[in-house]
């Protein structure tokens, strides 16, 4: 056991203390100085996916001598705690732990972050970085909410409206700040730039571009910026699309205990005032995919040497649809809603259920795969096989159906609605069995009663109260009609398609009645349709 394993630059100098850990194979101090003098890559969003995937990719380049600069990261979404408590006390080092399906773990100290900043206190430094001619890309993992400039009703938020009224010198929303920073870059050096969303959301680059150009267009109309400045944002700044896939759960207590047992000091996880779970370490699964549209007008790091795939926008879109509509996300949602009803607390344990495993396998292969557009760059069948045989069953991944059930109403249109639309085009929507059973399961989930008849607390969802109200009065043992479910099943905003018009409301209603027949009805229904 190490007796003095401190996670900082001095602490990792004695490699003999860090047996079992892969350490950075480059001069970190030299890398930091080079990066600060000639920054190439700025990243917003200092959370788990950034540290477990993006930082590790940058480290691969540094280890191989394919880069001499690292990443400068900035946090804007979760306050300053992750920077002040995870990054700076440890000289921006992080322990990245890979949780393998066989129970083994790979441990690496990642040192590719050259500088850690906060939007709250370091905007002058951030501005200098954005204005540097050497800067090639600004990337983001800020969640889909980070790009939202409108509320659920489609109206501009009050914050964004104020930013539009006050102009680029007085901004609060991150998208406004970015637009202002890019305008400063235009005047400072005039060099082009790539703004790259790496968030797990559909058409992420488009969301980023729309937000920034909408705000900047308002500034132009309000007389704050010129047509030339607006044109720079539209023509010299690129907004590549990307697809990212790697499961990075909150810090796991077993991992924390293991690292502490090795002798690493001050490794304890904590919860920020904003409710974010953080730690000086990050734990994640081994499989990872990042596919990026190759649109970098000022050049880019050679990230293909780290396994990142570069391609055209159409291919990125196909990969994203493959994952989100067929091969991963629909399976997650199915396991989430049924897992909550059946009392599961881990995704991996659900894969021990023959009913649930058969359910998601049949749904993916029988109903999703026939309408998948093969992106070629990743084989859909191989991807799906990896999900079913390695990723979901991994007992060492601390992921829960309760976490994945969060915001389900926001996920249904893309995860199931798109496949239903394609099946409608083929004239085969009437043959669907398993997707309707997932949707019926979600309605059953909304009753907030498990299969034993006990109440449970549904995960947070912006439409939870509204949807539960639509089902008010329905209890176990009830029998409902299609008309009773009309307000939900006809709502294309929820499902991405009008399920009545698609001819699926009758089947969903029948399934729902079977699921609410009484105690044990959910498991009995699954056995009926998956055996």
For 296-324, the pLDDT digits (tens) are 999 999 999 999 999 999 999 999 999 99
Give the residue among 325, 357, 366 at the shortest CA–CA distance from 338: 357
- Which of 258, 277, 310 finishes a domain? 310
Q: What's the angle, vertex CA 187, arms to CA 183 and CA 191, rounded to 5? A: 85
3-state secondary structure of 296: coil
Q: Which two tokens stand for residue 502?
A: 């698609």
d(CA 258, CA 157): 45
Taking all residues of the chain, what is their mean pLDDT, rounded to a whole number? 95
Which residues are CB-contacts of 153 (< 8 A; sequence separation ≥ 6)?
Answer: none
Domain membership flag for residue 2: no
Domain membership flag for residue 516: yes
Domain membership flag for residue 9: no
Of 296 and 1, the one with more pLDDT: 296
Concatenated DSSP letters of 82-101 = IIIIIIGGGTT-EEEEEE-T
Res. 1: pLDDT tops 50: no
**Cα–Cα distance list, 270 to 255, 285, 482 (Å):** 14, 21, 47
d(CA 193, CA 182): 8
* Shared-domain flag, residues 491 and 358: yes
Maximum separation of any 2 CA atoms in the chain, in Å: 71
3-state secondary structure of 303: helix
Report pLDDT for 44.
97
Res. 153: pLDDT tops 80: no
Which residue is it, tokens 């399906």? 101
Res. 236: pLDDT tops 50: yes
3-state secondary structure of 102: coil
**Cα–Cα distance list, 112 to 73, 78, 250, 384, 385 (Å):** 10, 21, 21, 32, 33
* Shared-domain flag, residues 74 and 95: yes
Report pLDDT for 202.
85
* Shared-domain flag, residues 116 and 199: yes
Res. 431: pLDDT tops 90: yes
* Shared-domain flag, residues 405 and 494: yes
Q: Are 326 and 372 in contact (CB under 8 A)?
A: yes
Domain membership flag for residue 10: no
For 154-207, the pLDDT digits (tens) are 899 999 999 999 999 999 999 999 999 999 999 999 999 999 999 988 899 999
For 21-33, the pLDDT digits (tens) are 999 999 999 999 9
pLDDT exceeding 70 applies to what percent of the chain? 99
3-state secondary structure of 431: helix
What's the first-to-final CA gap in the chain, in angstroms?
50
* Structure confidence at residue 17 as a pLDDT band (50, 70, 90): very high
For 410-427, the pLDDT digits (tens) are 899 999 999 999 999 999
Res. 79: pLDDT tops 80: no
Report pLDDT for 110.
98
Which residues are CB-contacts of 362 (< 8 A; sequence separation ≥ 6)?
Answer: 433, 434, 530
Q: Which two tokens stand for residue 379?
A: 């084989």
* Shared-domain flag, residues 203 and 227: yes
Domain membership flag for residue 449: yes
* Shared-domain flag, residues 233 and 169: yes
Give the residue among 197, 20, 16, 35 at the shortest CA–CA distance from 111: 35
Give the residue among 469, 458, 298, 286 at the shortest CA–CA distance from 386: 286
Domain tally for the chain? 2
* Shared-domain flag, residues 443 and 416: yes
Report pLDDT for 182.
98
For 239-260, the pLDDT digits (tens) are 999 999 998 988 999 999 999 9
* Shared-domain flag, residues 301 and 323: no
Residue 448 exposed, middle or buried by CB count within 10 Å (0-12, 13-18, 19+)? middle
Other Cβ atoms less than 10 A from the Cβ of 123: the count is: 16
Q: Which two tokens stand for residue 178?
A: 């970015």
3-state DSSP of 181-229: HHHHHHHHCCCCEEEEECCCCCCHHHHHHHHHHHHHHHHHHCCCCCHHH
In this predicted structure, which of 265-279, 414-428, 488-502 has the lowest mean pLDDT? 265-279
- Which of 310, 329, 348 finishes a domain? 310
CA torsion, ordered 444, 446, 448, 453, to nearest 10 deg: -10
d(CA 48, CA 279): 9
Domain membership flag for residue 3: no
Res. 3: pLDDT tops 90: no
Give the residue among 201, 250, 257, 275 at the shortest CA–CA distance from 399: 250
Report pLDDT for 78.
59
d(CA 106, CA 97): 6
d(CA 363, CA 434): 5
* Structure confidence at residue 2 as a pLDDT band (50, 70, 90): very low
* Shared-domain flag, residues 478 and 393: yes
- Which of 280, 310, 340 finishes a domain? 310
Any idea what the CATH number is for the domain that residue 57 is in?
Answer: 3.40.50.720
* Structure confidence at residue 86 as a pLDDT band (50, 70, 90): very high
Which residues are CB-contacts of 146 (< 8 A; sequence separation ≥ 6)?
Answer: 45, 76, 77, 140, 174, 175, 199
Res. 463: pLDDT tops 80: yes
Q: What is the pTM of this model?
A: 0.90
- Alpha-carbon 417 to chain mean position: 20
Q: Are 201 and 258 in contact (CB under 8 A)?
A: no
Q: Which two tokens stand for residue 123?
A: 């905007």
* Shared-domain flag, residues 255 and 388: no
What's the domain range around 478?
315-530
Give the residue among 82, 108, 111 at the shortest CA–CA distance from 280: 82
* Shared-domain flag, residues 396 and 289: no
CA torsion, ordered 328, 330, 331, 335, to nearest 10 deg: 140
* Shared-domain flag, residues 234 and 363: no
Report pLDDT for 446.
98
Average pLDDT over residues 210-226: 98
């Amino acid at each position: 056991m190490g007796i003095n394993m401190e996670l900082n630059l001095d602490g990792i100098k004695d490699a003999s203390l860090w047996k079992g850990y892969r350490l950075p194979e480059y001069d970190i101090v030299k890398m930091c100085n080079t990066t600060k003098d000639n920054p190439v890559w700025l990243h917003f969003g200092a959370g788990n996916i950034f540290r477990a995937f993006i930082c590790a990719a940058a480290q691969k380049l540094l280890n191989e001598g394919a880069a001499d600069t690292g990443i400068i990261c900035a946090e804007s979404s979760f306050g300053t705690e992750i920077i002040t408590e995870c990054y700076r006390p440890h000289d921006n080092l992080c322990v990245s732990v890979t949780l393998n399906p066989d129970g083994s773990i790979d441990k690496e100290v990642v040192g590719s972050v050259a500088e850690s900043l906060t939007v709250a206190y370091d905007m002058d430094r951030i501005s200098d970085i954005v204005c540097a001619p050497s800067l090639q890309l600004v990337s983001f993992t800020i969640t889909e909410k980070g790009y939202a400039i409108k509320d659920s009703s489609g109206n501009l938020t009050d914050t964004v409206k104020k930013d539009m009224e006050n102009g680029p010198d007085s901004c609060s929303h991150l998208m406004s700040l970015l637009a202002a920073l890019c305008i400063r870059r235009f005047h400072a050096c005039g060099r082009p730039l790539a703004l790259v969303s790496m968030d797990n959301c559909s058409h992420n680059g488009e969301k980023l571009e729309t937000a920034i150009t909408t705000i900047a267009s308002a500034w132009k109309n309000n007389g704050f910026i010129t047509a030339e400045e607006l044109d720079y944002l539209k023509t010299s700044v690129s907004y590549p699309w990307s697809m990212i896939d790697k499961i990075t759960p909150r810090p796991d207590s077993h991992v924390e205990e293991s690292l502490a047992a090795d002798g690493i000091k001050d490794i304890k996880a904590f919860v920020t005032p904003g409710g974010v779970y953080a730690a000086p370490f990050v734990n994640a699964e081994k499989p990872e995919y990042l596919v990026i549209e190759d649109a970098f007008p000022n050049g880019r790091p050679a990230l293909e040497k780290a396994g990142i795939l570069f391609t055209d926008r159409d291919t990125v879109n196909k990969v994203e649809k493959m994952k989100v509509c067929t091969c991963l996300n629909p399976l997650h949602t199915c396991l989430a809603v049924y897992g909550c009803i059946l009392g599961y607390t881990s995704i991996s344990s659900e894969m021990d259920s023959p009913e649930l495993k058969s359910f998601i396998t049949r749904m993916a292969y029988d109903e999703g795969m026939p309408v998948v557009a093969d992106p070629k760059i990743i084989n859909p069948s191989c991807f799906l096989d990896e999900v079913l045989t390695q990723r979901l069953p991994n007992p060492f991944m601390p992921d829960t159906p309760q976490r994945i059930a969060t915001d389900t109403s926001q996920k249904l249109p893309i995860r199931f609605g798109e496949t239903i639309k394609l099946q409608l085009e083929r004239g085969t929507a009437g043959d669907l069995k398993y997707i309707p059973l997932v949707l019926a399961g979600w309605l059953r989930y909304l009753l907030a009663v498990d299969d034993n008849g006990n109440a449970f607390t549904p995960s947070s969802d912006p439409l939870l109260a509204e949807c539960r109200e639509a089902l008010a009065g329905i209890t176990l043992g009830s029998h409902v009609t299609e008309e009773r479910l009309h307000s939900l099943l006809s709502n294309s905003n929820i499902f991405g398609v009008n399920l009545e018009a698609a001819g699926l409301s009758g089947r969903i209603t029948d399934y729902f009645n079977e699921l609410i027949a009484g105690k044990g009805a959910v498991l009995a229904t699954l056995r009926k349709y998956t055996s």
